[in-house]
Structure 1
Amino acid sequence: MSAGPVKFAWGLVAVLLAVWALTTFVAERTVPTLLLTYFVLPQVWLVPTVAALLLGAWRRDGRAVLGGAVATALALLLVGWEVPSPSPGSRSFRLMTYNIARGTGGAAELARVISRAEPDVVCLQETNTVLPGVLRDLERRLPGYAAARSREVVVLSRFPVTGVQDRALPDTTRRLLRATVRVRGQPVTLLNLHFTTVLWRGGWAGARDRRAAQVRAVLQVARQTRGPVVACGDFNTPPRGLVDAALREQFSNAFAQAGAGFGYTFPARAPLVRIDHVWLRRASAVAAFVPDARASDHRPLVVDVTLRR
């Protein structure tokens, strides 16, 4: 047996463990690890890991095959491959979160995408449309929904909307829209938001600090809220790093819980990252999926939610 395939496979395991640790525990704390977390597409690791697995099988080297299998499993973890473990129970309501790219796809196509999924609640981002009247036309094409509106985020609900609070996210013009809906007699708080990106013009450190402040604001609102809370929107955050870890302290990620596969939402034509999320507290996901839709530069995320009493 040649030592080459074994060293190659287990060397990849060591590298991938280091990447996982850096993107999980260091992440946004330094510029290099921030770039590794957000901008090095983890799909690049699948090519050498699968090659190591195949090379070990071709050489009939069990140690190399084992190393390749472990490396491939780690690569799938890094790319966000999910195996569903949905909560038991029936669906209380279906929610869609969708960044509509300021309506550039047109109201008719956006309405078709939304109607096809049949959501009870729709959380839209980038509703400050390029052309006047697009949002109004979209709402007209979706009858039966009550609306709660802010500057660039909107909640549409088939359930009664019993409370609305609009507040600014820290250090940005973007908004956090808090809407309370009554789902079969039970109040549910929706937090619809759109975080700034790490590509903020003030520099990496400034963007990191602003995003951390925005996460703290969301968590503070959640702590002050009783009952089920759903935080959803365009977080501009992959399912790793410190922003993701902070949210997991109070919430569970719906796609990680009930989705299958990658669940990538951006860019719509050839998705490579999952940056649109639904986070649940005192609620669980029984199903989660990303429709193949191209009316925006994002794809929507749809989640079937069951509530906890």
Structure 2
Amino acid sequence: MAQQAYVAETDDGGSGDQPRGSRLRRLWGRLLDGWRGDPRIWRRGLILAALAILLALVMLLHSRIPNRIGNLGSLTETFLPWFGLMIPVLLILGLVRKSATALIAVVLPTIVWLNLFGGLLLSDKTGTGGDLTVATHNVNAENPDPSGTARDVAASGADIVALEELTASAVPTYEKALASTYKYHSVEGTVGLWSKYPMSGIKAVDIKLGWTRAMRATVATPEGQIAVYVAHLPSVRVKIEAGFTARQRDKSADALGEAIAAEPLKRKILLGDLNGTMNDRSLNAVTAQMRSTQGAAGSGFGFSWPASFPMARIDQIMVQGVEPVTSWTLPRTGSDHLPIAARVNLDTSS
């Protein structure tokens, strides 16, 4: 009798040891049972359904959002991946409202988001091999530990390191900390490049600022010469009265894109803080001709800023004529940005 009672209790969905899938199916069945016969499940939640459709349209047609008013399009594209957080909120509200219409509508933004970002979130594109490791880091002008930051970046094993937001007072500290690892280096304005291999053709790149925040150099690697660019585009701000203020950043991006397009060497690497994501149309002058190593060979979004809670990938490693192998973020330093690194294959003939 005791065993029969136990079986009855188990079959009725009680405390028996049932697989997790069975328990979820029973829970979902009970939910549907509670909705059956309720004609209002299709009439409730129409506002939620409308919001879900609107969310899908914003993500799907983000490139059509105009920049004429407060650069709203670029602002949307900067944080576009985070729009996905609204999907579970709408799902939960749809369940609370017992709205079949809202739940069906939530499928639309889910499909759009997965189409845009599912490849980044759900797949690991990192590989092995490669013959050159590069790293870049906005070290922050107010960094309290420049020496430690330099050592942390050098510990990544990078053959080439780019640093941005260098101050005149901190440059000697970085030079001293990196001297034992990198035989060659050059600093132009507030950006610098350190390399294990000889550098030549070093010059500042005019990105229309009035002071130097970009440079280029030819690096003679064992696999041949490559053009390496370092850039720190102007910062952007979000202001209530002015919106997303990025006009100077956009102007500098256009100038940087022109310089890269005019580069005679076929193999090019861009390292730096672009103060924008790959989704931002205002960086098209650069992104249209170069590949992001994170998108091509990374795992996840690779957010780099702010270091305390990364929300956007505004630090970039981009390549042309070079094959990305793997890309990753480095541990936090004394900066408000995370360092990022990538390994590339310079021999693309095979």
Same fold (TM over 0.5): yes
TM-score by length of 2: 0.74
Deviation at 1:151, TM superposition (A): 1.0
1:223 aligns with 2:261: yes
- Over 3 Å counting, the alpha-carbon distance change for 1:205 and 1:260 in structure 2 is same
What does residue 15 of structure 1 align with? 55
Structure 1 window deviating more from structure 2 (151-160 vs 46-55): it is 46-55
What does residue 242 of structure 1 align with? 281
Deviation at 1:150, TM superposition (A): 0.5
CA offsets, 1:214-252, max 9 Å, x none?
222222222222211111201011232222333232111
Deviation at 1:285, TM superposition (A): 1.3
1:90 aligns with 2:129: yes
Matches within 5 A, 1:92-107: 92-102=131-141, 104-107=143-146
What does residue 154 of structure 1 align with? 192
What does residue 258 of structure 1 align with? 297
Matches of 1:168 and 1:144, distance apart in 2: 26
CA offsets, 1:156-202, max 9 Å, x none?
1112213211133203423221011122241110110000123399x
What does residue 165 of structure 1 align with? 203
Deviation at 1:132, TM superposition (A): 6.6
What does residue 179 of structure 1 align with? 217
Matches of 2:146 and 2:132, distance apart in 1: 24
Contact 1:27 1:33 (8 Å CA) reproduced: yes
Highest Rg: 1 or 2? 2
Matches of 1:33 and 1:78, distance apart in 2: 19
Q: Gapped runs of 5+ residues in structure 1? A: none
Contact 1:174 1:195 (8 Å CA) reproduced: no
1:284 aligns with 2:323: yes
What does residue 152 of structure 2 align with? 113
Structure 1 counterpart of 2:255, one-letter code: A
Give SS of 2:189's match.
Answer: coil
Contact 2:204 2:212 (8 Å CA) reproduced: no
Deviation at 1:206, TM superposition (A): 11
Give SS of 2:294's match.
Answer: helix
Structure 2 counterpart of 1:18, one-letter code: V
Matches of 2:125 and 2:238, distance apart in 1: 36
How well do the aligned residues superpose, as a CA RMSD in angstroms? 3.5
- Over 3 Å counting, the alpha-carbon distance change for 1:132 and 1:145 in structure 2 is closer
Matches of 2:279 and 2:227, distance apart in 1: 25
Structure 1 counterpart of 2:275, one-letter code: N
Deviation at 1:120, TM superposition (A): 0.8
- Over 3 Å counting, the alpha-carbon distance change for 1:165 and 1:77 in structure 2 is farther
Structure 2 counterpart of 1:297, one-letter code: D
What does residue 18 of structure 2 align with? none
Give SS of 1:102's match.
Answer: coil
- Over 3 Å counting, the alpha-carbon distance change for 1:106 and 1:65 in structure 2 is same
**Alignment length, in residue pairs?**
305
Contact 2:186 2:192 (8 Å CA) reproduced: yes
Give SS of 2:175's match.
Answer: helix
| Matched-pair identity in % | 19
Q: Gapped runs of 5+ residues in structure 2? A: 1-34, 36-40
